[in-house]
Structures are given as structure tokens and as C-alpha cells.
């Protein structure tokens, strides 16, 4: 089934994912026509900070021959600051462009935007909801290291608020041999609705507070404690620094394991880890460009 908007990772079936991964391979090996999107315009509307997601989407559009219009810090510099609703902004912006990439602080905002848009809307993060294109680049990166989908992945940190986790899990659910170990403080555990979703799909997962369980994983997916989602800084400080990958943790990890992180990192992976051959988070970020080129090409492909 052809997707019109990209709002949730749950929209993706295995076939579509694999189509996007194949396209990403072609793009990476430069076997793809670069002017595919010439004449098309992307609008990026970011109401929350971003480095990688916005710049890789914009670079992807430019590399495919398209153009980009943007409002930097949409919360402050768009008409939202004057009290305009998201619905009205989308009704207007969709007549200026061919695709909208939106990041918003409210969960569900991208879905609302898609209801008012005549052009495709891509969710680049909706509060603590989802971040489906990050999950696609994460899974692509995992598959670039593991040929078979029979790995164990430890997801570490703020699993309650981390939207990249909420999107990566449904993609992993397509691969029955994948095992998930959720490692977090109890208060930051993965949402019940996500665990229900995984149970329904018979995904093998366990939950623990014990960081040492990373030694059982082939993929360690570290995340940041999502400071902006805490009402109370004292609560944030309680968890900040609880799970840190440093030189001493490296000793426990499997020799063929990979260490990933959607970035930005704060203190949860120390710099000494960067030179370890298992650290692949910068490669992961670089794949963001290629997978987003593939996602755009897929969205505009008429076939
Ligand atoms: C993530 C996000 O915005 O959810 N960043 C990203 O897009 N690479 C992760 C995070 O901010 O912690």
C-alpha cells in the first residue's frame, strides 16, 4: 500500500520498508538519478530544536534536485507566536509547497497537520509521540551491520519520553527473531500502549533496570533523558547520568556489538567511546541523509 503521509512507524509494512532500504542502497552507491524531485518544494516547519533531522531532510531535498522553504524556530518566528492555530498554518503552507516536514512539541500534531494538508506531511517528531524517519534510518543502519534479523537490541534510557524508541519498536516487530531488552528506571519505562502493541505482535521483550544486561545485546541503542518533557527539574536530575556508556562498560559488550544513539548525546556516552570500533552513531546520523532521500523519492514516486 502506498503511503500518502508519514506519521507513524506503525504505518509501514515490511515490503514498504524493504523498498525504502533498497532505494537507500541505490542512492548510497550513486545509482540513482539525482534530479528526481526537480520542481518540487519542501517546507520544513520545526517548532522544536533540531540539527540532524532538519538539515538532513533539507539536504536530501536539495540533493534530489528539489527546493526548500523553511521557518527557523517556527514556535517563535512563524505566526504561531501571534496565536495562529496549527490547522490554519498548514492550510496556508500546503499551498506553497509539495511536501511538509513538521516537528512539533505536541504528541499527535503531525497527524492533525496531515488532516488539513493536501500535500504529504512527514512527522519529524511530535512531542513524546513518534519519530518514524529516525526509526527507518536506525533500522537501515542496523541492517548494514547485521545481515540477519535475529539480533538482540538493548534500548536504554528514557523509554517513556523517547519518541525514537516509540517508532523503532514497531519496525522491529516485523522481524520475529529480534529480541528487545528495555533498560530504564521504572518511572521512565516504555509506555503501556507500546508494550501492548508488541505483545499483540508476539515480539520477545523484557524490562529491567539493570544496565549490566547490555552485555547480552548485539545492538545497544542508547538514548538521552528527555529533559524538555519533565515538569520538574529535580525529577530530571534523578535520572540524568543513571546509565552512561564509558570505557568501563565497553569491557562488558560483545565484541561484535554496535553502539547506537539517535543523538544529540548529553552525557550518556562518553567521548572515549567514540574511537571504539563498535560505536556507530555518527555513521547512523550520516545514513539519515540517504534514508531521507529514499523516503522522499518513495513519496513522490507515482508507481
Ligand atoms: C531525537 C529526537 O528529536 O527525538 N533526535 C533526533 O532527531 N536525532 C532524539 C533526542 O532528541 O533525544
pLDDT the model gives residue 1:
67
The 10 Å Cβ neighbour count of residue 30 is 7
Give me ligand 1 centre to Cα 155, in Å: 14
Task: Tell me the DSSP string of 31-69.
Answer: -S-TTTTTT-EEEEEESS--SHHHHHHHHHHHHTT-EEE
* CB 125 less than 6 A from any atom of ligand 1: yes
pLDDT tens readout for residues 256-284: 999 999 999 999 999 999 999 999 999 99
pLDDT the model gives residue 303:
63
* CB 167 less than 6 A from any atom of ligand 1: no
* CB 164 less than 6 A from any atom of ligand 1: yes
**Residue 298 clears pLDDT 90, i.e. is over it:** yes
> Domains (ranges, CATH) in the chain?
9-131+286-300 (3.40.50.1370), 132-285 (3.40.50.1370)
**Residue 76 clears pLDDT 70, i.e. is over it:** yes
Task: Tell me the DSSP string of 223-271.
Answer: ----GGG-S-HHHHHHHTTSS-B-HHHHTTS-TT-EEE--S--SSSB-G
Q: How far apart are CA 55 and CA 77, in angstroms?
A: 18
Q: What Å distances lie between residue 59 and 42, 111, 206, CA to CA? A: 11, 24, 38
Cα-to-chain-centroid distance, residue 241: 22
pLDDT the model gives residue 71:
87
Q: State the distance between the two ends of the chain, measured CA to CA, in whole angstroms.
A: 11
pLDDT the model gives residue 74:
87
pLDDT tens readout for residues 161-206: 999 999 999 999 999 999 999 999 999 999 999 999 999 999 999 9
Q: Is 103 designated active site?
A: yes
How high does pLDDT run on average in the chain? 96
Amino acid at each position: 500500500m502506498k503511503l500518502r503521509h508519514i506519521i507513524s512507524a506503525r504505518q509501514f509494512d515490511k515490503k514498504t520498508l524493504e523498498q525504502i532500504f533498497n532505494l537507500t542502497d541505490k542512492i548510497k552507491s550513486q545509482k540513482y538519478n539525482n534530479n528526481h524531485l526537480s520542481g518540487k518544494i519542501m517546507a520544513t516547519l520545526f517548532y522544536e530544536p533540531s540539527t540532524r533531522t532538519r538539515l538532513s531532510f533539507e539536504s536530501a531535498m536539495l540533493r534530489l534536485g528539489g527546493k526548500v522553504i523553511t521557518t527557523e524556530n517556527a514556535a517563535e518566528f512563524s505566526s504561531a507566536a501571534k496565536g495562529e492555530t496549527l490547522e490554519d498554518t498548514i492550510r496556508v503552507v500546503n499551498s506553497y509547497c509539495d511536501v511538509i516536514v513538521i516537528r512539533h512539541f505536541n504528541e499527535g500534531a503531525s497527524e492533525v497537520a496531515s488532516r488539513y494538508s493536501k500535500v504529504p506531511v512527514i512527522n519529524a517528531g511530535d512531542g513524546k509521540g513518534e519519530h518514524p524517519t529516525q526509526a527507518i534510518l536506525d533500522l537501515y543502519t542496523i541492517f548494514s551491520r547485521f545481515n540477519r534479523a535475529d539480533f538482540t537490541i538493548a534500548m536504554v534510557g528514557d523509554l517513556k519520553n523517547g519518541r525514537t524508541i516509540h517508532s523503532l519498536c514497531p519496525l522491529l516487530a516485523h522481524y520475529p527473531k529480534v529480541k528487545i531488552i528495555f533498560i530504564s528506571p521504572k518511572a521512565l519505562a516504555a509506555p503501556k500502549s507500546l508494550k501492548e502493541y508488541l505483545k499483540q505482535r508476539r515480539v520477545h521483550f523484557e524490562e529491567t533496570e539493570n544496565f549490566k544486561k547490555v552485555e547480552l545485546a548485539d545492538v545497544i541503542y542508547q538514548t538521552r533523558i528527555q529533559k524538555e518533557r519533565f515538569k520538574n527539574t529535580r525529577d530530571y536530575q534523578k535520572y540524568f547520568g543513571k546509565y552512561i556508556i564509558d570505557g568501563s562498560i565497553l569491557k562488558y559488550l560483545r565484541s561484535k556489538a554496535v553502539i547506537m544513539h539517535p543523538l544529540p548525546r548529553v552525557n550518556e556516552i562518553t567521548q572515549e567511546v567514540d574511537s571504539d570500533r563498535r560505536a556507530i552513531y555518527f555513521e547512523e546520523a550520516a545514513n539519515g541523509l540517504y534514508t531521507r532521500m529514499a523516503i522522499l523519492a518513495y513519496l513522490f514516486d507515482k508507481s
